[in-house]
Amino acid sequence: MDLKVIVNEERCKSCGLCVNICPKHVLRISDKINSKGYYPVELFDNENCISCGFCYLVCPDMAIAEVKKPEFVK
């Protein structure tokens, strides 16, 4: 399945607000380092993400670039 949360790693400042607010705990600060020296967030459990968009709402840096929801054909 496609990623439900698209992270723009270069914009992330590891503030942790999205990790803190995520109701399903599917986000975490990664081990990667971006060009500014921050550890960007990553969506490590795509399956359990409910596409609520809380991460997008609280992110102050546009690092959560997009939130998507799977559409199921009936």
Partner 1 sequence: MKTIYKVPSAITSSDTTYCPGCTHGVAHRIVAELLDEMGLTKKTVIVWPVGCSVFGYFFIGTDALIAAHGRACAMATGIKRVHPESFVMTYQGDGDLASIGIAETVHAAARGENITTVFINNGNYGMTGGQMAPTTLIGQVTTTTPYGRKPELNGFPLHVPEMLATMDGPAYIARGALDNPQHITQAKKFIRKAFTAQQKRLGYSLVELVSTCPTNWKMTPVESIERVKREVLPIFPLGEFRAVKGVE
For partner 1, the binding residues (CB under 8 A) are 2, 4, 10-11, 13-17, 20-21, 36, 38, 51-54, 56-62, 64-71
Closer CB to partner 1, 31 or 70, in the complex: 70
Compute and round to an integer the Cα radius of gyration of the chain. 12
Beta pairing class for 41-43 and 27-29: antiparallel
Q: What's the closest the beta carbon of residue 27 comes to partner 1, in angstroms? A: 13
Looking at residue 70, its amino acid is P
Tokens linked to 9: 């790693």
Closer CB to partner 1, 44 or 65, in the complex: 65
